[in-house]
Amino acid sequence: MLLRWLSVVLLTVISWVGLQAQTPAASEVVSKAAEKLGTATGLKVTFTLTSGGRSLEGTLVESGNRFAVTTAAGSTWYNGQSMWSYNPRTNETTLSTPDSDELRVANPLYYLQDAGNKQAYTIKYVKQQPAGKYAVALLPTDKKSNLRSVIAVIDRNYDIKEIKVTTTTGQETTLTVRSLDLKSRQAASQFEYPRIKYPKVPIIDMR
């Protein structure tokens, strides 16, 4: 009986150790997902954005540190230095030199790129893991940050599936990826404001 019990315990320990060896660290999951995005030939994402009980669909294209986002609620173009944001409700475009926080708001994929800075976030798995995917929490180390958490859902191929951003005020914004193309080459003009498309729209320069 003792020998049988010891055998069961030994097999349980071996299985547990094997499972732990197969599960990468949370920081490694985020790093691999960020690396995959960063080394892509070009990036095109179709997504659903949900916030405050409302949802809208959109498209994000990216190349290097440049990106453009298009939704029914507005469009944004960032050429690596300047950012234009068009608001169809006011029929105005704002031109600015964005800081890192503004870039994250415009492009939530930046949160994954930030995760490479281990001093900025504590990275760990969330308690409830989705089947066949990893759910990882990015918790800011800066106590003055207005960000409470970022939860990234990443599949076993290290493709991003969802990013949920929660602020300290409790506001939640979720970007759900509907399609991801890592080989979509984008022309440089994609990241510049298309003045010819909005010839009569005033541009408010906030730089």
Residue 12 has a pLDDT of 40
List pLDDT tens digits, range 146-197.
899 999 999 999 999 999 999 999 999 999 999 999 999 889 999 999 999 9
Give the percent of the chain with pLDDT over 90.
72
pLDDT reading at 122 higher than 60: yes
Helices (H), the chain: 2-22, 26-38, 100-106, 110-114
**Is the CATH number of domain 25-205 3.10.20.90?**
no
pLDDT reading at 6 higher than 50: no
Instruction: Give the pTM.
Output: 0.83
Give the percent of the chain with pLDDT over 70.
87
Domain ranges within the chain, ordered by starting residue? 25-205
Name the E strands within 79-187: 83-87, 92-96, 121-125, 133-140, 147-155, 160-167, 172-181
Average pLDDT, the chain: 87
- Give residue 143's pLDDT band: very low, low, confident or very high (50, 70, 90): confident
Calculate the CA 53 to chain-centre distance. 20
Q: How many CB atoms lie within 10 A of CB 150?
A: 23
- Give residue 88's pLDDT band: very low, low, confident or very high (50, 70, 90): very high
Helices and strands of the chain, counted as H and E runs:
4, 12
Task: Report the pLDDT averaged over residues 13-23.
Answer: 46
